[in-house]
């Protein structure tokens, strides 16, 4: 629901798939995939990043959320 083009989303997914394949492992942990996703979203769309981070990083209160937003704004 964000104004991110389908081609940008496909590029992010493709990059993640390529990195996972280059690892050469039959299985990878969800943590590795999650870290790749959050890193990609941070570059792609800050709002999508924050929405994902709320769940993935377990930002369960407003102070934690504000701290993450402040870190994002500083970078």
| DSSP string for the chain | --S--HHHHHHHHHHHHHHHHHHT-S---HHHHHHHHHHHHHHH-HHHHHHHHHHHTT--SHHHHHHHHHHHHH-
The chain-wide mean pLDDT, for the chain, equals 96
Question: What's the distance, CA 43 to chain centroid?
Answer: 8
- pTM higher than 0.85, yes or no? yes
Question: What's the distance, CA 54 to chain centroid?
Answer: 11
Q: How confident is the model at residue 1, as a pLDDT?
A: 78
Q: How confident is the model at residue 2, as a pLDDT?
A: 87
């Amino acid at each position: 629901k964000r104004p991110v083009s389908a081609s940008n989303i496909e590029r992010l997914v493709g990059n993640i798939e390529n990195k996972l394949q280059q690892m050469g492992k039959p299985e990878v942990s969800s943590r590795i995939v999650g870290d790749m996703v959050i890193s990609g979203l941070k570059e792609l769309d800050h709002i999508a990043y924050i929405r994902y981070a709320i769940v993935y990083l377990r930002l369960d209160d407003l102070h934690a959320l504000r701290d993450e937003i402040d870190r994002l704004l500083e970078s």
